[in-house]
Amino acid sequence: MDKPTVQDGQVVSMEYTLHVDGQLIDSSQGRAPLEFLQGAGNIIPGLEDELYGMEVGETKNVIVSAEDGYGELDPDAFVDVPRAQFPTEIPLEIGVELQVRDDSGRVLLARIDRVDDESVRLDFNHPLAGKELDFTVKIVGLRDATDEEMEHGHVHGHDHAH
């Protein structure tokens, strides 16, 4: 009997590390493996595409371009806010993250990109937009998805965080 390999409709358990610009950004180390439904777009497409055919126990290094990861930097995702409108409790320092509500009440994450005398420029791009992503992944488990998981398009489980 052939060993199971990663394919659509399977729940994949995967250990991973993510490096960007040579720095460790994220890792499953010390936590439960990431579980997701292959083929359902639960993870970024550039990574998902590279997992097909991998077996349990197999490790792979995957380089994902920005366009197949979190997208290119969107020049329209920068917004200048007058300094006078800025809440005083937020430090005006580059890289500070804050939550902003848009007109429809959704909460958006932004980072301070630039500060000058008149205004503060906010960057609403994903922090990893425009970045090449360097993943090391190891498949640690595979199982067929349940009908309910297939229907909902994501994994159900006792420790499901989404």
Q: Delineate the domains of the chain, giving CATH numbers in brackets.
A: 10-70+129-152 (3.10.50.40), 75-123 (2.40.10.330)
- At 25, the pLDDT band (50, 70, 90 cuts) reads very high
Query: What is the mean pLDDT of the segment spanning 94-112?
Result: 92
Q: Which residues are within 8 A (CB) of 156 and not within 5 positions of it... i.e. 6 or more apart?
A: 146, 148, 149
Q: What is the pLDDT of residue 158?
A: 52
Tell me the average pLDDT of the chain.
93
Q: How far apart are CA 144 and CA 86, in angstroms?
A: 50
The yes-or-no verdict on residue 159 having pLDDT over 90 is: no
pTM of the entire predicted model? 0.81
Strand-pairing partners, residue 119, are 82
